[in-house]
Structure 1
């Protein structure tokens, strides 16, 4: 009889409460300062990272090999036979490739590692959908067969105050416009089908940028029922205001609100407001 485990990395931004509720195994990224390092979400919070940016901008590293080994060994000891692991886009991190290599050491587990080609709660929505299907008793093959359609149903858009941190982290992707900061142009960034950042739109000023995010949500909701997540990076008031407007719209089946993980916040800096959409089947 199949016993299916679910693994994610900490960039998915699923809350610790939901991870525990659905028994989802977390692989934390590492937040690295000059003299210390932390396990993302477990040993350091987003606010701690933002509050210290003026002193030091840390680097990040993918989940450790030790954490991957420990997790897979634990699953074997708990009697799991199958594993579905869903990672951040392989174009933004080496987690997907590393987990593929480690999984070769565990032939006793039937492991499928899925490249979400996205990040934050876009990945999180896929993970939570998988958790629901596992709870419903679908087979491993049935769930794996649905992963690509799940990915097609999610999209992510976010606005940031500055491109400085994406540039420092080397994650600028196809985002254009080096003069954005000087001209007060706020790029709305999304992720393409290859899992790479690109500029979805350029808006003058953050107020208009937030209005654009609302219009993006309205367009999706005019086409189908959707789950909506609003996440922020040190931009609580703007994010709460956007969420309150979206909650009044038709076709919203559920909403999720939270902070992006420290591992993502390092690369986007303070002032981020993110809109993540999952179209319901």
Structure 2
């Protein structure tokens, strides 16, 4: 336990790889994936591959963690000897998780709790939690920690391409993304989260290959705002495409410090479907 007795709790929607959560002793609470026959915990008892393999038969629903699970996790944190908790969640513009946890936190006794709305998704929000973990490790106090993490939210951005808008539409997560893109023209949107944490079109490009190249250009442009930055390369059942752009992406970003790669969480895969390729950037200075 750190000397400040500060715990860090994240939800599965900000896609922090398991080895990083373990490295920083993060507590995690999974979103829910709901099929007709049963309910699963995101990344705990169902994998992304299993979600994708079942999409042709049934598109499941996703849901917030239950109140009971959140209370159990907070009780565990208290039992482990912590006195304060920083909770970092995916965007309130895409999920009710932030609002639910905030309501519980206000009434919870025995812990000082702060809840951060990253207004972002996947590793775009995950970068903020990882940075918070580093600050805790460095001995930063709770008040400064809250202020710094909140202030630095704008330094993280994620861009992603998807093969089809079908799953965002059916899941009700379409946000400000224009859903009337002409399939005849083969227009592919590059999507991100705006300042309110809602999906929007950053660009529309004809063809898959060109859209991935444009996404890389946008990521490099955002990263150029800082001298150093952390980078993530993520995919949803599109490992080969992600691998094909990896070397060029790293070459184009000489100021990179940390690099994260992997597949998005099962719950996020429900809403994007197979074929997602994404790049996350966090400016660190």
**TM-score range for the pair, normalised by the shorter chain length:** over 0.9
Tell me how far apart the structure 1 counterparts of residues 170 and 67 of structure 2 sit (CA, whole Å): 25
Q: TM-score, normalised by structure 2?
A: 0.95
Is 2:281 the partner of 1:277? Answer: yes
1:264 corresponding residue in structure 2: 268
Kindly indicate whether the alpha-carbon contact (under 8 Å) linking 2:11 and 2:90 is maintained by their aligned counterparts in 1: yes
Residues 68-217 of structure 1 correspond to what in structure 2 (within 5 A)? 68-217=70-219
1:180–1:187 CA contact under 8 A, matched in 2: no
- 1:25 maps to 27
- TM-score w.r.t. length of structure 1: 0.97
- Structure 2: gaps spanning 5 or more residues: none
Give the match's secondary structure for 2:180. coil
> Which residue of structure 1 lines up, in the alignment, with residue 61 of structure 2?
59
Taking the aligned partners of 2:273 and 2:82, their CA distance within structure 1 comes to 39
Is the CA contact (8 Å cut-off) linking 1:163 and 1:181 kept in structure 2? Answer: no
Q: Deviations over 1:99-142 (max 9, x none)?
A: 11212332221100011101100111000000000011100011
Per the alignment, residue 9 of structure 1 pairs with 11
Checking the alignment, whether the CA contact within 8 Å between 1:220 and 1:226 is kept in structure 2 is no
How much is the aligned-residue C-alpha RMSD, in angstroms? 1.2
| Other structure's SS at 1:239 match | helix
Task: Quote the offset at 1:23 in angstroms.
Answer: 0.7
How far apart, in 1, do the equivalents of 2:184 and 2:112 lie? 52
Separation in structure 2 between the aligned mates of residue 112 and residue 127 of structure 1, nearest angstrom: 13
* Equivalent of residue 47 in structure 1, options 36, 43, 49: 49
Counterpart of 1:239 in structure 2 is 242
Deviates more, 1:219-228 or 1:163-172: 219-228
How far is the alpha carbon of 1:183 from its aligned partner? 2.3
Alpha-carbon offset, residue 227 of structure 1: 1.0
Structure 1 unpaired stretches of 5+: none
What is the deviation of 1:177? 4.0
Asked whether the 8 Å contact 2:32–2:41 carries over to 1, the reply is: yes
- Judge conservation of contact 1:13–1:260 (CA < 8 Å) in 2: yes
Structure 2: how far apart are the matches of 1:217 and 1:65?
37
